[in-house]
Amino acid sequence: MRLFLILPLAALILAACASPRERCLRAATAELRVIEDLIAETEGNIARGYAIDRRVETRTVLELCAWPTEEVLFCTRQEPVTRERPRAIDIAAERRKLADLRDRRADEVRRAAAAQAACPVE
């Protein structure tokens, strides 16, 4: 159980140890990663013929908290749950959006390359 608590903490500590160059490179490509994720999502929507809306909801979970000698105690906790629902899309509009995203990606690749070139060398 403790291992599950230690691993995320270790990952955060290691991420904080990134060199200034690594942080600069990651920052230079942040917008490019967002655009690539949007391209992948749009391509998936076109391939499926519909979009998937994701919404995080909270549900209450009842748990056994303690079991003293004479009474049983229950506790509640909130737990996030992701719900997915299909949504109708206009395929032609999605194709136009995809073309626009690909154009933006080409511009962003050039901008990111220039920003990466300006990052400090270790």
CA distance linking residue 84 with residue 74, whole number of Å:
30
Condensed to tens digits (0 to 9), the pLDDT of residues 2-50 reads 555 566 666 666 666 778 888 888 988 999 999 999 999 999 999 999 9
Q: Is the pLDDT of residue 1 over 50?
A: no
Name the more confident of 63 and 17.
Answer: 63
Residues 108, 106: Cα–Cα separation, whole Å = 5
Q: Among residues 80, 84, 27, which one has the least CA distance to residue 55? A: 84
